[in-house]
Chains A and B, each alone.
Chain A
Amino acid sequence: MLIVKNATKKYGNLVAVDNLSFEVENGQIFGLLGLNGAGKTTTFRMILGLIDDFEGEILIDGEHINYKISDQIGFLTEERSLLTKLTVLDQVIYYGVLKSLNEKEIEKRLDYWLERFGISEYKHKKIKELSKGNQQKIQFITAIIHEPKLLILDEPFSGLDPINVELFKEVILEMKAKGTSIIFSSHRMEHVELFCEKLVVLVKGKNVLQGKLSDIKKNYKKKNLIIKGDINIPELKKAKGVEKITKNNDEYIISITDDSYVNSLFKLISKYDNILKFSVEDPSLNEIFISIVGDNYES
């Protein structure tokens, strides 16, 4: 279990992370979201022990980070952190031994993962000879080869085709089921939505949104009305609570500023002919993210 308590990191006058607190339980996938420069990397570095001069506390299974505990952490960086001149085997052995595994065990586990990802033939190839997607698979293997208790995934699906994204998802969910705590960071909100039960959104180092995804969505006042039928767009645009109207194939999506307007809008829309569908839906995480981050970023 990971506990981040009031973590604050300053670089001179710049506050990179400001009083951040969150917990990731065993077997939980936690979303750490934010724009570039929001403080995600600094947070990861604090968790990994790469930064030690910060205020607050970070505990893994009740202990402060040390080189014994770091063996229990897996980290998949956003950039390719592979030494391209090494072969796949040497690279995985390199990072595996740093996680206190022995070389024989690493090779055995590598064979399993290479087969699972369908790239067994690349075992003795140099990293630089692999495609971007296959390099990402190797990077993923290096992050999980030691079966970590805490896994940090920063943009794990970068460079992957949809089939391999599914393969990764499957493995991530398997690890969650085994009890691994996972911190998931991505700019692709549909992925975050798919995995994360809890999340925190950072803007300029500050926590601007935090909680369970279902609660965040439920408590988020803005809703979307999905309408199928003939509607009077100019009249609806003038209606109270309507933020914008967009058309998606033969449906209209009416974004409303507060769910308290649902009844009045329902009454208005029910006057129109041929209304085949009227449903109230929670906005996507992407919309919530853009709205929250946008407001806070500007302020």
Chain B
Amino acid sequence: MNHKLWFLTKMSLNKKIKTKWFLIANLIFLILIVGLINIDSIIRAFGGEFNETKEVLVIDNLNIFDEFKLNYLNNTKYISDYDEIEVIKYTKTYDEATKEVEEDNKILLVIEPDNTNYFHAKLISKDEVGTITSTIIATTLNAIRSKIVLNEYNITNEMYSNINTPVELETVILNKDNIEDGMMISSIMQIVTLPIFMLIIFLVQMIGAEVNEEKTTKSMEIIISNVSPKTHFISKIIAANTFVIIQGLLLILYIAIGIGLRLVLNNGNLIGELDSEIIPIINTINLNSIAKSIVIVVPIIIVMFLLTFIAYSLLAGILASMTTNIEDYQQLQTPIIIISLAGYYLSMASGMFKGSLFIRIMSYIPFISSLLTPTLFVIGEISIFDLIISIALLIITIFLLIKYGLKIYKTGILNYSGTGLWKKMFKAIKEK
């Protein structure tokens, strides 16, 4: 019987993997994931400018261009690729300059003397100037103005430094485990839970399609006359979960390929040109104690996800056995998808509603818990004890699904009539 179980599992898995759709879907995943990870390089390859790589024309009516250029380059030298921006002193008229801005997509900086604020600057561009460029220009101009002011009032650099040195404010946080930024971490957790949510949808649809195919073609009668419904059911669960794990590992592989390519394209710099957005996030993560939590969370998350896959596949298999065609199953699977969707959205919202009792209660509910609990745990909303309760409830659910679901499955797979369906299923549950 074991041989037949493994054979059924192998057949079921082959039916999912040895298809052109699996290949096509994975090719799309590979392209999408690698593409998203290297989006800046792709934009650049197609002639687009991910960052400001334009010429900055400067009309200088204050004679501070040399100092401006020196400061500007100084400010940009630590930012990769910013040396590509050329700062040029413009000597023609303002109208000619604006024409060049219009036609060649350059940036024009006009520096004018000002009686009250020493000088006044205007930045002219065809489209919106990127945050980094405008920030650097503003910083550079501020530095020049500061120098002018210091000179005017005979303030030495030392005096200026003393004025500007901030008061030292030492922060002591007693509950170090909860110092994470909830919103930021829940956003990161969404990236982790999204593929899981997708895999759950795959799983539910896959089991339903397969059981229905065997039912509608009546091949179920041939199969069940040779193996027990229990063996058949277990083979479907093993095959579907193995498929999901393989697919999950492939997604991880695609991410690794994407990161590898990114390192190659950015000369070993993982952040590349996305520094202004990513560095603060990474700094936050490194500064906080997530790294420490991850060591505990990752194995728990993996266990929860695996248990969730099993629970969803059991539920999907049981429901599929009760339906007589794929249309019926599509209707029946909608509540399952809504439940998992609720889990995903609650996970997204958990960062916004810290301390919500409702979300905490929801985290215990099987089918939702796996998508919600890891996020809540990471942001410090629940403890390991809560996590263990969620896992225990999930295990109890799996046990009940196996105990009673198997009886439904046994009756359901050979039932071709929708009449009195629920009555038949309840009767099946009561049978010893």
Residues in chain A within 8 A of chain B (CB atoms): 45, 48-50, 67, 70-71, 73, 75, 77, 79-86, 90, 94-95, 97-100, 142
Interface contact B225-A97, CB-CB below 8 Å: no
Q: Is B4 an interface residue (CB 8 A)?
A: yes
Interface contact B227-A75, CB-CB below 8 Å: no
Cα A100 to Cα B4 in complex, Å, equals 8
Interface contact B227-A50, CB-CB below 8 Å: no
B4, B7, B226 — most chain A CB neighbours (10 Å):
B226
Given contacts A48-B221, A81-B217, A90-B11, 15 further A-B contacts (CB under 8 A): A71-B226, A77-B218, A79-B217, A80-B217, A81-B222, A83-B214, A83-B217, A84-B217, A85-B213, A94-B11, A95-B226, A97-B3, A97-B7, A98-B227, A100-B4
Interface contact B219-A82, CB-CB below 8 Å: yes
Known A-B contacts A50-B414, A97-B4; the reply to A75 vs B218 at CB < 8 A is no
User: Residue on A with the closest CB to B213?
Assistant: A83
Interface contact B222-A77, CB-CB below 8 Å: yes
Q: Is B256 an interface residue (CB 8 A)?
A: no
Interface contact B225-A48, CB-CB below 8 Å: yes
Q: Give the Cβ gap from A237 to chain B, nearest Cβ, in Å.
A: 48
20 residue pairs from A and B, CB less than 8 Å apart = A45-B221, A49-B225, A50-B225, A67-B227, A73-B225, A75-B221, A75-B225, A77-B218, A80-B217, A80-B218, A82-B219, A83-B213, A83-B219, A85-B15, A90-B11, A97-B4, A98-B7, A98-B8, A100-B3, A142-B222
User: Residue on B with the closest CB to A53?
Assistant: B431
User: Residue on B with the closest CB to A142?
Assistant: B222
- Residues of chain B within 8 A (CB-CB) of A70 are 225-226
- Residues of chain A within 8 A (CB-CB) of B227 are 67, 98
Q: Is B167 an interface residue (CB 8 A)?
A: no
- Residues of chain B within 8 A (CB-CB) of A79 are 217-218
User: Residue on B with the closest CB to A49?
Assistant: B225
Q: Is B228 an interface residue (CB 8 A)?
A: yes
User: Residue on B with the closest CB to A48?
Assistant: B225
Interface contact A77-B221, CB-CB below 8 Å: yes
A50, A70, A71 — most chain B CB neighbours (10 Å):
A50
- Residues of chain B within 8 A (CB-CB) of A73 are 225
Q: Is B172 an interface residue (CB 8 A)?
A: no
Q: Is B223 an interface residue (CB 8 A)?
A: yes
Q: Is B338 an interface residue (CB 8 A)?
A: no
Q: Is B224 an interface residue (CB 8 A)?
A: yes
User: Residue on A with the closest CB to B220?
Assistant: A81
Cα A99 to Cα B214 in complex, Å, equals 17
Interface SS of B by simple majority: helix
Cα A98 to Cα B214 in complex, Å, equals 15
Residues in chain B within 8 A of chain A (CB atoms): 1, 3-4, 7-8, 11, 15, 213-214, 217-219, 221-228, 414
User: Residue on A with the closest CB to B226?
Assistant: A98
Task: Pick the 7 closest A-B CB pairs, nearest first.
Answer: A98-B226, A48-B225, A81-B218, A81-B219, A79-B218, A97-B7, A81-B222
Contact of B4 among A75, A80, A86, A98 (CB under 8 A): A98
Cα A166 to Cα B253 in complex, Å, equals 57
- Residues of chain A within 8 A (CB-CB) of B214 are 83
- Residues of chain B within 8 A (CB-CB) of A90 are 11
Contact of A67 among B11, B15, B219, B226 (CB under 8 A): B226
Cα A45 to Cα B15 in complex, Å, equals 27
User: Residue on A with the closest CB to B417?
Assistant: A11
- Residues of chain B within 8 A (CB-CB) of A45 are 221, 414
- Residues of chain B within 8 A (CB-CB) of A82 are 217, 219
Q: Give the Cβ gap from B158 to chain A, nearest Cβ, in Å.
A: 81
Interface contact B222-A95, CB-CB below 8 Å: yes
User: Residue on A with the closest CB to B228?
Assistant: A67
- Residues of chain B within 8 A (CB-CB) of A94 are 11
Contact of A98 among B15, B218, B223 (CB under 8 A): B223
- Residues of chain A within 8 A (CB-CB) of B221 are 45, 48, 50, 75, 77, 81
Cα A138 to Cα B4 in complex, Å, equals 22
User: Residue on B with the closest CB to A143?
Assistant: B222
Q: Give the Cβ gap from A14 to chain B, nearest Cβ, in Å.
A: 11
Q: Give the Cβ gap from B26 to chain A, nearest Cβ, in Å.
A: 19
- Residues of chain B within 8 A (CB-CB) of A97 are 3-4, 7
B1, B15, B217, B222 — most chain A CB neighbours (10 Å):
B222
User: Residue on A with the closest CB to B222?
Assistant: A81
- Residues of chain B within 8 A (CB-CB) of A80 are 217-218
Known A-B contacts A50-B414, A85-B15; the reply to A99 vs B217 at CB < 8 A is no
Interface contact B1-A67, CB-CB below 8 Å: yes
Interface contact B1-A75, CB-CB below 8 Å: no
Cα A77 to Cα B218 in complex, Å, equals 8
User: Residue on A with the closest CB to B420?
Assistant: A12
- Residues of chain A within 8 A (CB-CB) of B228 are 67
Cα A84 to Cα B216 in complex, Å, equals 11
Cα A86 to Cα B18 in complex, Å, equals 11
Cα A75 to Cα B224 in complex, Å, equals 12
Q: Give the Cβ gap from A149 to chain B, nearest Cβ, in Å.
A: 14
- Residues of chain B within 8 A (CB-CB) of A84 are 217
User: Residue on A with the closest CB to B19?
Assistant: A85
User: Residue on B with the closest CB to A83?
Assistant: B219
Cα A75 to Cα B221 in complex, Å, equals 9
Interface contact A50-B224, CB-CB below 8 Å: yes
Q: Give the Cβ gap from B287 to chain A, nearest Cβ, in Å.
A: 54
User: Residue on A with the closest CB to B216?
Assistant: A79
- Residues of chain A within 8 A (CB-CB) of B213 are 83, 85
Cα A100 to Cα B3 in complex, Å, equals 9
- Residues of chain B within 8 A (CB-CB) of A100 are 3-4
- Residues of chain B within 8 A (CB-CB) of A86 are 15
- Residues of chain A within 8 A (CB-CB) of B7 are 97-98
User: Residue on A with the closest CB to B224?
Assistant: A50
- Residues of chain A within 8 A (CB-CB) of B3 are 97, 100
Cα A232 to Cα B293 in complex, Å, equals 106
Cα A84 to Cα B257 in complex, Å, equals 37
Cα A86 to Cα B224 in complex, Å, equals 19
- Residues of chain B within 8 A (CB-CB) of A77 are 218, 221-222
B1, B7, B11, B225 — most chain A CB neighbours (10 Å):
B225
User: Residue on A with the closest CB to B225?
Assistant: A48
